[in-house]
């Protein structure tokens, strides 16, 4: 149990003992004491004034005395500032914490709790490579999965690949028109990049044909429908759905090129999945559930035969679930896939990491599942995140202005090389070691920059700002971790007994910060918010940097001080490594 949780528990017990009535942890608030005040943790008592009919100062004095007298192993002193009771935790508590956990690489993590969660992320289309927006999605999804694991959940990472539909047919038609049988192998091009080039070629040709038809006097909307390349694409989609052998063969071939490219990118960025679903296998799912819903009057049929649901009572509108020809729409297959996931794994929660442009779609999905009384309806959660933009503005796939994931990773590695050279501390590294180091620093900078912002916020990614050995970056954290490793290699821990009263202010600040790690993991899991881990680990590294600047380990005043600081450094290193691992970021032992 964390010290904050212990304070909550002892406070509820003390209030009941003092005032003879039951209290819960919701009746007051516990937080870290602000730096300008004496104490470690603060009980906010304003909410108790009305029920107890006493002033905050009176309540605080009685509560403070009771905590110190009845929990002497935890609390040594208190003070009251207006409605705030500031409590000082005993040095013995911090010493015991340090002695028990300084070498525990699992510190802060929880045992398995029996809950099974699926996190779905990435969800790429097979007509283009992964891009910067996909990277935020992958990094958020992967990190949330790891944070949930650290909090005791069994987690399945899943991905739904959008491998069918008009988008891939556009690339297929353009390949037939312009490729002259070229392949990724013949052009020495990564498979997903190769197919993506034809998606751009399609759009360029489409624009030309539409412009030509308009010049001949055709209405713009009509021209967009009648452009020969679009008509050919629509026909290809129909042929695919009809199972025309040559279309299916080309579809399989081009998708295989893309999958080969995806695999390389996923390996490079450290993203993986336990289960991959393909839209080509799921697009017919959900139709049986819709038919059941018709029998239950959850859905209704319009005169043209199409099937809808009326969500106006929930502040939305009518939503199509089956076309008049009986074919599925996206929401239909999403209902079916949700059912399939539940049937396969009996998951307790299904988390969908999807951009905020799909907020409406996800609301509709959950409402339909609730109307149908499906057992997993309340357990569908949309982790909505804001789009990533560049300083130059939004990215557009069809116009070829998207920054491909591979290109941005390569650029980050080059930026890492430049910034590392400026430090001038890698002269003893081999060429292979430098290559690995640039990858770790560059990819770490990218991941940290994309997850350090709360998911729901939009963000602008600037590569030049993401690697700064003195800023709010992964590089700053990695550098401090490497410093700790250097110190630990040069100094051995001594075997001496530590006594109370051993902590200087920065030593105390560091151990108090480390103790919070488990609570931060818990909060990050509850909020599905990796930025809480990023902010916390940065602050730990910053506190260590201040501590290290003031207090030497090698030249400590006494053997006791040397051991205390060695243990603090080792525990700090473990927490930094553990926290960065939850973000998918490596920390090098040397920099």
Q: Residue 293 has what pLDDT?
A: 94
**Angle 25-27-28 from CA coordinates, rounded to 5°:** 80
Give a yes or no: residue 172 inside a domain. yes
Q: What is the pLDDT of residues 173-211, one digit of tens each?
A: 999 999 999 999 999 999 999 999 999 999 999 999 999
Q: In this structure, is residue 528 part of a structural domain?
A: yes
Band of residue 398 on the pLDDT scale cut at 50, 70, 90: very low
Q: CATH number of the domain that 261 lies in?
A: 3.40.50.620
Domain count of the fold of the chain: 3
Q: Is residue 33 part of a domain?
A: yes
134 and 222 share one domain: yes
Q: Tell me the mean pLDDT in the region 505-525.
A: 96
> Can you give the CATH number for the domain in which 45 is found?
3.30.1360.70
The distance from CA 181 to its chain's CA centroid, rounded to whole angstroms, is 41
Site of tokens 């998951």? 347
Question: Is 307 contained in some domain?
Answer: no
Q: pLDDT at position 500, please? A: 65
pLDDT of residue 393: 56
The pLDDT score that the predictor gives to residue 395 is 45
Q: Is residue 247 part of a domain?
A: yes
What are the residues whose beta carbons fall under 8 Å from the beta carbon of 472, sequence distance 6 or more? 452, 538
pLDDT tens for each residue of 149-160: 999 999 999 999
3-state SS assignment for residue 342: helix
Q: Tens digit of pLDDT for each residue in 466-493?
A: 888 889 999 999 999 999 999 999 998 8
Q: Could you tell me the residue range of the domain that residue 158 belongs to? A: 118-282+346-399
Whether residue 152 sits in one domain with residue 71: no
- From the list 201, 167, 147, 255, the residue with the least C-alpha distance to 525 is 147
Residue-wise pLDDT for 124-144, tens only, equals 999 999 999 899 999 999 999
**Strand 84-89 versus strand 75-81 pairing type:** antiparallel
Q: Is the distance from CB of 337 to CB of 374 less than 8 angstroms?
A: no
| Mean pLDDT of the residues in the chain | 93
Give yes or no: residues 262 and 122 share one domain. yes
Q: Same structural domain for residues 376 and 228?
A: yes
- Domain membership of residue 364 (yes or no) is yes
Query: Does residue 359 sit in the same domain as residue 232?
Result: yes
8 and 156 share one domain: no
Task: Establish if 49 belongs to a structural domain.
Answer: yes
Element housing 195 (H / E): helix 191-215
71 and 192 part of one domain: no
Task: Judge whether 152 lies within some domain.
Answer: yes
> What pLDDT shows up at residue 397?
45
The residue count of the chain comes to 591
Last residue of a domain, one of 45, 72, 89: 89
On whether both 478 and 556 belong to a single domain, the answer is: yes
- Residues 469 and 509 both lie in one domain: yes
pLDDT digits (tens, 9 = 90+) for 534-586: 999 999 999 999 999 999 999 998 898 999 999 999 999 999 999 999 999 99
214 and 252 share a domain? yes
Q: What is the CATH number of the domain that holds 566?
A: 1.10.730.10
Verify that 156 and 253 share a domain, yes or no: yes
Residues 473 and 520 in one domain: yes
pLDDT (tens digit per residue) in 273-302: 999 999 999 988 899 999 999 999 999 999
Q: Which residues contact 80 (CB under 8 A, 6 or more apart)?
A: 56, 57, 60, 61, 64, 86
């Amino acid at each position: 149990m964390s010290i904050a949780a212990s304070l909550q528990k002892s406070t509820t017990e003390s209030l009941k003992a003092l005032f003879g009535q039951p209290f819960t942890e919701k009746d007051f608030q516990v937080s870290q004491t602000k730096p300008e005040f004496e104490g470690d943790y603060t009980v906010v008592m304003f909410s108790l004034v009305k029920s107890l009919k006493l002033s905050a100062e009176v309540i605080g004095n009685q509560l403070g005395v009771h905590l110190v007298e009845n929990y002497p192993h935890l609390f040594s002193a208190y003070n009251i500032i207006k409605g705030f009771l500031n409590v000082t935790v005993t040095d013995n508590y911090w010493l015991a914490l340090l002695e028990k956990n300084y070498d525990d690489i699992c510190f802060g993590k929880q045992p398995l709790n029996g809950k099974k969660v699926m996190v779905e992320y990435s969800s790429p289309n097979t007509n283009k490579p992964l891009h910067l927006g996909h990277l935020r999605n992958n990094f958020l999804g992967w990190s949330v999965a790891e944070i949930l694991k650290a909090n005791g959940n069994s987690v399945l990472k899943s991905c739904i690949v959008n491998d069918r539909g008009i988008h891939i047919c556009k690339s297929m038609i353009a390949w037939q028109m312009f490729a002259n049988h070229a392949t990724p192998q013949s052009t020495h091009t990564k498979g997903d990049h190769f197919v993506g080039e034809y998606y751009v070629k399609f759009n360029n040709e489409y624009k030309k044909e539409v412009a030509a038809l308009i010049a001949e006097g055709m209405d713009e909307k009509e021209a967009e429908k009648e452009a020969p390349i679009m008509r050919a694409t629509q026909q290809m989609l129909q042929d695919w759905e009809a199972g025309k052998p040559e279309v299916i063969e080309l579809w399989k071939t081009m998708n295989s090129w893309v999958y080969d490219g995806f695999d390389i990118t996923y390996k490079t960025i450290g993203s993986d999945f336990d289960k991959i679903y393909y839209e080509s296998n799921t697009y017919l799912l959900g139709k049986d559930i819709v038919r059941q819903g018709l029998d239950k009057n959850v859905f209704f049929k319009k005169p043209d035969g199409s099937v809808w649901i009326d969500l106006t009572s929930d502040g939305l509108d009518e939503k199509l679930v089956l076309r008049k020809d009986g074919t599925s729409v996206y929401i239909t297959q999403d209902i079916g896939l949700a059912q399939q996931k539940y049937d396969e794994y009996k998951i307790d929660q299904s988390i969908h990491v999807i951009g905020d442009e799909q907020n409406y779609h996800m609301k509709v999905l959950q409402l339909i599942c609730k109307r149908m009384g499906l057992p997993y309806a309340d357990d569908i959660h949309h982790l909505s995140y804001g789009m990533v933009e560049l300083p130059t503005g939004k990215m557009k796939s069809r116009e070829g202005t998207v920054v491909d994931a591979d290109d941005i990773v390569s650029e980050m590695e080059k930026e890492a090389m430049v910034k590392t050279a400026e430090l001038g501390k890698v002269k003893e590294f081999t060429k292979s070691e430098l290559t690995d180091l640039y990858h770790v620093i560059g990819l770490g900078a990218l991941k940290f920059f994309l997850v350090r912002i709360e998911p729901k916020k939009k963000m602008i990614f600037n590569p030049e700002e993401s690697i700064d050995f003195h800023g709010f970056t992964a590089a700053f954290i990695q550098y401090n971790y490497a410093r700790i490793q250097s110190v630990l290699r040069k100094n051995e821990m001594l075997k001496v007994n530590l006594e109370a009263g051993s902590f200087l202010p920065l030593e105390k600040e560091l151990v108090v910060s480390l103790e919070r790690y488990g609570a931060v993991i818990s909060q990050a899991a509850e909020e599905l918010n990796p930025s809480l881990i990023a902010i916390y680990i940065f602050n730990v590294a910053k506190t260590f940097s201040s501590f290290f600047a003031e207090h030497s380990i090698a030249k400590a005043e006494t053997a006791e001080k040397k051991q205390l600081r060695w243990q603090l450094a080792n525990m700090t290193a473990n927490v930094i490594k553990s926290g960065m691992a939850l973000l998918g970021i490596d920390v090098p032992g040397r920099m």
